[in-house]
């Protein structure tokens, strides 16, 4: 079969072997990337480059929420190629690893490395995967939510390219079992994945970003010849619009743009006869 240049390049990224060696290996394995990579390793032609020099721009975002919804984990696990990130065995390995981390008390990527996993630790398992696949595998981001009153919920979008974890607090413990509440959790996670807010509320938006936005708007208004006595009033409206686009609680709900996320939560709280609070969220994205 004809071996394409893109297949050769993909194998080079996977093994760091030479171009001709990659082409020959692909020819011998009828274009099977995984078999060709294995063949190169068997021949000793797959190079073990310094891990610090390897780019890990691919990977998957994964989540694990406990059955009681009181603990949630969101993690970004990176590798070097899309070929590996889409591999079923790799995804199963990552899912098993994240469940082990979720059952520990590790709350960040560094602490996760020491979690017992398999015959050693998570760090040992990542090293073994490097030897097996010829690619650096690393946990780039990890966060843990521990919920007191309420529930955690997660959503994975685009086959693992984007992941979301949220926490919504309740005053009545029974609320968390309601289908209305469960639908709300799902809707909020979907919204965060799609809308990519910059922060939960205005307090989470960097003041320098707001100042820069104001300055840009002021210069545009002055250039348009707007009178000085009304510029401040116009600026107030523009910055409120800016917050409405950036802050999760003020964003228009993607499924119903006529209401904000705050209004959505208030409506569901009234329906449930409870007080609901969106406490926090996290959104990880591959390549962001």
Taking only the tens place, the pLDDT of each residue in 36-79 is 888 887 776 665 444 445 577 899 999 999 999 999 999 999 99
pLDDT per residue rounded down to tens, the chain (288 residues): 788 888 888 888 777 777 788 888 899 989 888 888 888 877 766 654 444 455 778 999 999 999 999 999 999 999 999 999 999 999 999 999 999 999 999 999 999 999 999 999 999 999 898 888 888 899 999 999 999 999 999 999 999 999 999 999 999 999 999 999 999 999 999 999 999 999 999 999 998 888 888 899 889 998 889 998 899 899 989 999 999 999 999 999 999 999 999 999 999 999 999 999 999 999 999 977
Alpha carbons 115 and 207: distance in angstroms, whole number: 38
The pLDDT assigned to 52 comes to 44
Cα distance between the two ends of the chain? 37
Structure tokens that stand for 9 in this block:
């390049």
The DSSP bridge partners found for residue 165 are 154, 282
- Res 263: pLDDT: 98
| Burial annotation 170-184 (CB, 10 A radius, 16+ → b, else e) | beeeebbebeebeeb
158's tokens: 């685009």
Six-digit token string for 13: 């990224």
């Amino acid at each position: 079969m004809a071996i394409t240049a893109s297949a050769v390049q993909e194998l080079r990224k996977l093994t760091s072997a030479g171009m001709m060696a990659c082409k020959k290996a692909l020819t011998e394995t009828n274009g099977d990337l995984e078999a060709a990579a294995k063949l190169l390793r068997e021949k000793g032609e797959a190079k073990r480059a310094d891990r610090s020099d390897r780019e890990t721009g691919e990977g998957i975002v994964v989540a694990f929420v406990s059955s009681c919804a009181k603990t949630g984990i969101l993690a970004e696990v990176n590798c070097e190629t899309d070929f590996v990130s889409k591999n079923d065995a790799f995804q199963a390995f990552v899912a098993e690893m994240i469940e082990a981390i979720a059952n520990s008390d590790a709350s960040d990527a560094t602490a996760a490395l020491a979690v017992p996993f398999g015959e050693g630790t998570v760090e040992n398992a990542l090293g073994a995967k490097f030897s097996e696949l010829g690619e650096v595998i690393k946990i780039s981001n990890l966060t843990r939510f521990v919920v007191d009153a309420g529930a955690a919920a997660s959503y994975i979008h685009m086959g693992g390219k984007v992941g979301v974890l949220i926490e919504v607090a309740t005053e009545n413990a029974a609320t968390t079992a309601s289908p209305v509440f469960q639908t709300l959790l799902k809707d909020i996670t979907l919204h965060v994945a799609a809308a990519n807010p910059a922060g939960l509320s205005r307090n989470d938006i960097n003041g320098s970003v707001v100042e820069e936005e104001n300055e840009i708007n002021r210069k545009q208004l002055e250039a348009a010849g707007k009178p000085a006595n009304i510029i401040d009033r116009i600026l107030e409206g523009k910055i409120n619009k800016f917050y409405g686009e950036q802050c999760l609680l003020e964003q228009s709900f993607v499924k119903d743009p006529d209401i904000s996320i705050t209004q959505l939560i208030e409506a569901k709280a009234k329906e449930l006869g409870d007080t609901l609070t969106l406490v926090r969220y996290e959104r990880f994205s591959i390549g962001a």
